[in-house]
Copies of this chain bind each other. A is one copy, B any other.
């Protein structure tokens, strides 16, 4: 299982002459991978003081359902162990301790890099979303797709695949140690009207043989319409302890 799990990492060395040998990690203890502090998730995403813009804040484009559910979860952060995660334009700006396998490090160039889900900066036109995380393994994504994410006219279809990958990646990173997507399986049930709210419930099912197994259900707020269900498997990677921002 471990050998197969790191097939991806082993193959990475072949690309573009990047010849660093993959690092095979010692087996992790799931208990230690799942921290219990509610502060640590945010500190894994960014240093305490940052002037980076947080895109996971309400703006004029948010529908009333998104706004009210955001407020509801914000209340829960005060007492129920939920954490609101900030969301920046690029992972380069803030990810703490994330380390790609040897040989795959990238230059810290100053170009205009964006993560896929923050590629559109016009409010309301693209991916409006906010993430709430409940350590050690539960998360809720609130997602409102805009008119730049159409598939069939009036409906935002493929953007859900993007959001599911982002959801799994982020939570695998927070719940485990680093991440690489190994597989993503989505079953679509209903089309999502552009501008409506999608509530995504994500759960880490188990951590086994350096893999995280996750599930997601995406549905309307009243849970009467299921948009899609998915599962994903992620590989754990080594992280640098106490590393500074990669910016």
Interface string of A114-133 (1 = CB under 8 A from B): 11110110000110000000
28 A–B pairs (Cβ distance < 8 Å), ordered by A: A8-B188, A11-B190, A11-B226, A12-B191, A15-B193, A16-B196, A91-B152, A91-B153, A92-B153, A95-B153, A100-B155, A106-B154, A111-B147, A115-B150, A116-B148, A116-B150, A116-B151, A116-B159, A119-B119, A119-B149, A151-B165, A151-B169, A152-B180, A153-B246, A157-B165, A158-B162, A161-B162, A182-B188
- Given the interface contacts A158-B165, A165-B158, does A153 sit within 8 Å of B188 by beta carbon? no
Pick the contact of A113: B92, B112, B150, B161 (CB < 8 A). Answer: B150
Nearest Cβ distance between residue A192 and chain B, in whole angstroms?
9
Tally of this chain's copies:
2
Give bound CA distance, A14 to B227, whole Å: 12
Neighbouring B residues of A156 by C-beta, 8 Å? 116
Nearest Cβ distance between residue A76 and chain B, in whole angstroms?
28
Nearest Cβ distance between residue A225 and chain B, in whole angstroms?
5
